[in-house]
A and B are shown apart, each in its own frame.
Chain A
Amino acid sequence: MAALDHPNLIAALDAGRSSTHQGFTFVVGEGEEELLSWDRLRAEAMNRAAHLRALGLRTGDRLAIVMPDGRDFVPTFLGATWAGIIPVPLPPPLSLGKLDSYLGSLAAVMNKAEPAYLATTAKIEDVLGSAASRVPSLQGIVTAEDLRAEAPAAASREPVDPHADDIAFLQFTSGSTATPRGVEVTHGSLRANAWAIMRDGLQADSATDSGVSWLPLYHDMGLIGFVLSPVFHKVGVTFIPALSFVRNATIWLDTLHRTRGTISFAPNFAYALAARRARPEQVAKWDLSRVRVLGCGAEPINPGTLRGFAEKFSACGLRPEALVPSYGLAEATLAVSFDALDEPLSTDVIDRDAYERGKRAVSVPRAGLEVNDAVEFVSCGRAFPDHEVGTFDTAGSRLSDRHVGELWVRGPSVARGYYKDPEASQETFGGGWLRTGDLGYLVDGRIHVTGRSKDLIIVNGRNYDPQCIEWLADDAPGVRAGSTAAFSVPGTAGEELVVIVESRTARPEALQETIKQRVNEQLQLVVSEVVIAPPGSLPKTSSGKVQRAKARQQYLDSMGSLLPAE
């Protein structure tokens, strides 16, 4: 089927009518899978739309969706969309540990979105009960089992016809209880981004391409990249449950081999995990020569990790140019740029001193990396056609090539704003550009992301609000209140978390241990280093607020000075 430029997601889904041989395949158990053809997907979405309407949900109402299984999640999400109901995808309880903090953040996010209903599965309904009871807007819970049954005949199955500026769904970006923010993805921004991803970024061909994804569906890369964009372009995808991947990362490459998949994406950490876990007999068996694009995004990209991966799996016929770094963020719907296909990993080696002190990216020979005089960043390619990326200094003046500043984005993929948060929306989306909060520089239009200028820590592909980590550290005995900074720095394989606290404690080791324990218990995050600094040493604004980015820079500078002198 040729890719048509459908006016919106609903029209794209509707166009799948009578296409019964291709669609989404869900791996549901050990060696079991189920194909949901485009035709079947449309029919199931219509049935679920009718169910939701029969429950009393109307156009513009929100539906929270907590469904770990793609087989339930995908038709429920599309069914809500079909009826003009706004889906709010949310993470399921993920792993062993503290359920309380998960339920707390789930309730906080739901209270921001104010959903009329929560759609989940019978199995986890009980687990979610205590969070649901804290959300006054909820009129009820509907389970996947209910939604699979035939909907009442009287309920309408007619699709809505949305405007480009209507909200298609809300994407919550961090698991923070402090300031949950839902990005308003509109039908227009979704269509623009799906088009840019499939046509410009991937040059996808529905006749020859097929995707494989283990990415969580409540996350933008899994949802837009592998569910919604493929619905627009009718590219078949095989879905592996995210928890199956983290249990055993080799299932990802094994599925690419088995299904002869050509396209997949993952955050940096997954490349390290898969390379570490693949056994020699698997490497000997796998044929990855058909893989066209293995995209990397959603967290800072470590060039060494990608090179190690490419090297290890070259034995499987994986072409080095298949690895494609990308740049994007939920506020731009998903993707902003992909590096050029059919080119090997392109990186830029720059002088460390000029970068750290002068915010300039001065190209130097690779040899500088050996003696730590240089740093290396991957190229994430150029902004998609009709989109623009610029770098700006803190005063808002545009910078020229090879000057590090904040990356700003404009174009049709930029989302509308944050849901019910005019202040934050104005700050981030106001003035004609999306201020990404990411730092980077351009070289002839190619984007190099160097870090984050604000409020986001990304570890294992998940976003964390530094504020939450700082609060936990603040509460530790002996810490000077309001004098903590949490941020991430590049580690050997991925990002590492550093916490700086001000304290006069006589027992620094005990305090370090307490903070590590607290953060680990509450957020299941590992703190690599806790720095105990004397009171007054953290940089602060005139109003007494800790300057996180500056503290991070000072930390990195002092690390440099600890290295052996030349």
Chain B
Amino acid sequence: MSNVDVIGLFKQAALEVHGRELGTLDAATEISTLGLDSVAVMEMTGCLEEKLQIRIPDEELAEVETLGQLDTLIRRVIAGKEAP
């Protein structure tokens, strides 16, 4: 799972959940600049969690502002899950 493409999955979630094409994104992209409301972002988060079979703790999600931070957090959650 270490090669998971969070940005790619995020774009896919936007397409699946909202039918939105997000264009070019990178680790520095701030999620709040994408024209998505807070419910839409949480729906997409749910979609990502379902695909990756993880649950991101709410309080850690609240501190995420960029896609890079989301990527780091998701990798940490996956690593935590895979650890014995």
Interface residue ranges, A against B (CB under 8 Å)? 30, 68, 92-99, 102, 121, 123-124, 127, 241, 243, 246-249, 269, 273, 277, 459-460, 516-517, 520-522, 524-526
User: A510 to nearest B CB, angstroms?
Assistant: 15
Set of chain A residues within 8 Å of B70, measured between Cβ atoms: 96
- A130 vs B63: C-alpha distance in the bound complex, in angstroms? 13
Set of chain A residues within 8 Å of B21, measured between Cβ atoms: none
Check if A248 sits within 8 Å of B62, measured CB to CB. Answer: no
Check if B46 sits within 8 Å of A459, measured CB to CB. Answer: no
User: A18 to nearest B CB, angstroms?
Assistant: 35
Which B42-56 residues sit within 8 Å CB-CB of chain A? 42-43, 45-46, 49-50, 55
- A99 vs B31: C-alpha distance in the bound complex, in angstroms? 12
Tell which of A94, A123, A246, A269 touches B57, judged by Cβ atoms closer than 8 Å: A123
Check if B38 sits within 8 Å of A97, measured CB to CB. Answer: yes
Tell which of B30, B35, B45, B57 touches A247, judged by Cβ atoms closer than 8 Å: B45
Check if B35 sits within 8 Å of A99, measured CB to CB. Answer: no
Check if B62 sits within 8 Å of A95, measured CB to CB. Answer: yes
- A516 vs B33: C-alpha distance in the bound complex, in angstroms? 9
User: A69 to nearest B CB, angstroms?
Assistant: 9
Tell which of B34, B46, B50, B62 touches A124, judged by Cβ atoms closer than 8 Å: B62
Tell which of A68, A98, A247, A460 touches B37, judged by Cβ atoms closer than 8 Å: A460
- A366 vs B78: C-alpha distance in the bound complex, in angstroms? 54
Interface centre among A92, A97, A277 (most CB of B within 10 A): A97
Set of chain A residues within 8 Å of B55, measured between Cβ atoms: 30
- A260 vs B14: C-alpha distance in the bound complex, in angstroms? 33
Check if B37 sits within 8 Å of A526, measured CB to CB. Answer: yes
Check if B59 sits within 8 Å of A93, measured CB to CB. Answer: yes
Check if A97 sits within 8 Å of B41, measured CB to CB. Answer: yes
Residue of B nearest to A124 (CB): B59
Set of chain B residues within 8 Å of A102, measured between Cβ atoms: 62
Check if B62 sits within 8 Å of A517, measured CB to CB. Answer: no
- A247 vs B46: C-alpha distance in the bound complex, in angstroms? 4
Beyond contacts A99-B62, A249-B43, A521-B32: 4 other A-B pairs, Cβ-Cβ < 8 A, are: A247-B42, A520-B37, A524-B36, A526-B36
Residue of B nearest to A125 (CB): B59
Interface centre among A92, A248, A522, A525 (most CB of B within 10 A): A248
- A525 vs B64: C-alpha distance in the bound complex, in angstroms? 17
Known contacts A68-B58, A247-B42, A248-B50, A96 near B33 by CB under 8 Å: no
User: B51 to nearest A CB, angstroms?
Assistant: 12
How many B residues have CB within 8 A of the partner chain? 28
Residue of A nearest to B50 (CB): A248
User: B2 to nearest A CB, angstroms?
Assistant: 23
Check if A247 sits within 8 Å of B33, measured CB to CB. Answer: no
- A459 vs B33: C-alpha distance in the bound complex, in angstroms? 18
- A249 vs B55: C-alpha distance in the bound complex, in angstroms? 16
Residue of B nearest to A241 (CB): B58
Check if A524 sits within 8 Å of B41, measured CB to CB. Answer: yes
Q: Does B15 contact A (CB under 8 A)?
A: no
User: B70 to nearest A CB, angstroms?
Assistant: 7
Check if B65 sits within 8 Å of A243, measured CB to CB. Answer: no
Check if A521 sits within 8 Å of B37, measured CB to CB. Answer: no
Check if B37 sits within 8 Å of A99, measured CB to CB. Answer: no
Tell which of B41, B49, B50, B57 touches A96, judged by Cβ atoms closer than 8 Å: B41
Residue of A nearest to B73 (CB): A96
Q: Does B83 contact A (CB under 8 A)?
A: no
Q: Does B25 contact A (CB under 8 A)?
A: no
User: A173 to nearest B CB, angstroms?
Assistant: 18
- A121 vs B59: C-alpha distance in the bound complex, in angstroms? 10
Q: Does B28 contact A (CB under 8 A)?
A: no
Tell which of B42, B50, B57 touches A95, judged by Cβ atoms closer than 8 Å: B42
Residue of B nearest to A123 (CB): B59
Tell which of A92, A241, A248, A517 touches B33, judged by Cβ atoms closer than 8 Å: A517
Check if B62 sits within 8 Å of A246, measured CB to CB. Answer: no
Check if A247 sits within 8 Å of B62, measured CB to CB. Answer: no
Check if B43 sits within 8 Å of A127, measured CB to CB. Answer: no
- A94 vs B42: C-alpha distance in the bound complex, in angstroms? 9
Check if A97 sits within 8 Å of B43, measured CB to CB. Answer: no
Check if A96 sits within 8 Å of B61, measured CB to CB. Answer: yes
Q: Does B39 contact A (CB under 8 A)?
A: yes
Set of chain B residues within 8 Å of A127, measured between Cβ atoms: 59, 62-63
Set of chain B residues within 8 Å of A273, measured between Cβ atoms: 39, 43
Residue of A nearest to B64 (CB): A96
Known contacts A97-B65, A99-B63, A520 near B39 by CB under 8 Å: no
Check if A99 sits within 8 Å of B65, measured CB to CB. Answer: yes
- A99 vs B61: C-alpha distance in the bound complex, in angstroms? 10
What are the 6 tightest A-B residue pairs by CB atom distance, in nearest-first order?
A247-B46, A93-B62, A246-B42, A524-B38, A97-B32, A521-B32
- A521 vs B41: C-alpha distance in the bound complex, in angstroms? 12
Check if A520 sits within 8 Å of B58, measured CB to CB. Answer: no
- A517 vs B35: C-alpha distance in the bound complex, in angstroms? 7
Set of chain B residues within 8 Å of A460, measured between Cβ atoms: 37-39
Set of chain A residues within 8 Å of B58, measured between Cβ atoms: 68, 92, 241, 243
Residue of A nearest to B49 (CB): A247
Known contacts A96-B70, A97-B32, A124-B59, A524 near B64 by CB under 8 Å: no
Set of chain A residues within 8 Å of B49, measured between Cβ atoms: 247
Tell which of A241, A246, A520 touches B46, judged by Cβ atoms closer than 8 Å: A246
Interface centre among B49, B63, B70 (most CB of A within 10 A): B63
Set of chain A residues within 8 Å of B33, measured between Cβ atoms: 517, 520-521
